[in-house]
Amino acid sequence: MLRLNRDSLYKLNYLLVGGLLLVSLLIVIYVASPEKMIVGEWKEKGWYFEKPDYRLEEKNFAEVLEENVRIEILDKLEILHVNRWIFREDGTLEVDDHSVANMTWSIKGRGHILEISRDGTPIESFQIQTLSNNEMELHLNLDIQIKGVIKILLKRDDLVQ
């Protein structure tokens, strides 16, 4: 049977704890965070109902929302009337509509909430459902009575065809 004296056990414990701390630090430093992944230029690919109204007789329930329905539902949300979203590293958000200015973005919660602010006042927040290097899926929960949640699909601009 292997016998270790007390000093050897202390050294082994310090070595293990130090190794775990080093591995944890490297993981935190080198794993891609949502703040780093979201930076760049994104283009909207579509607007979909997450939970469509199944009473409709159409076969494809995940149809893209019609433009007039989208404008009617989201009339007061200016940020959502844009086609191109540019997230800068400094936290600013640029859109292709130049009348919408002074906007910032931040990641909240555990990295799953994207908050859009104008002049320091939050104007909208989205749940980030999926985020990869080339695709982002945002869910918008509205307070109005519609059948379902709206899903916005964004793709990196250089990957959009």
Q: Does the pLDDT at position 59 exceed 50?
A: no
Amino acid letter for position 54: Y
Mean pLDDT of 61-85: 61
| Nearest to 124, CA basis, from 111, 110, 143 | 143
pLDDT 10s digits, 16-33: 999 999 999 998 888 878
Percent of the chain with pLDDT over 90: 19
Q: Does the pLDDT at position 73 exceed 80?
A: no
pLDDT computed for residue 109 by the predictor: 86
pTM of the model: 0.66
If one compares 47 and 134, the residue with the highest pLDDT of the two is: 134
Neighbours of 2 (CB within 10 A): 3
Q: Does the pLDDT at position 77 exceed 90?
A: no
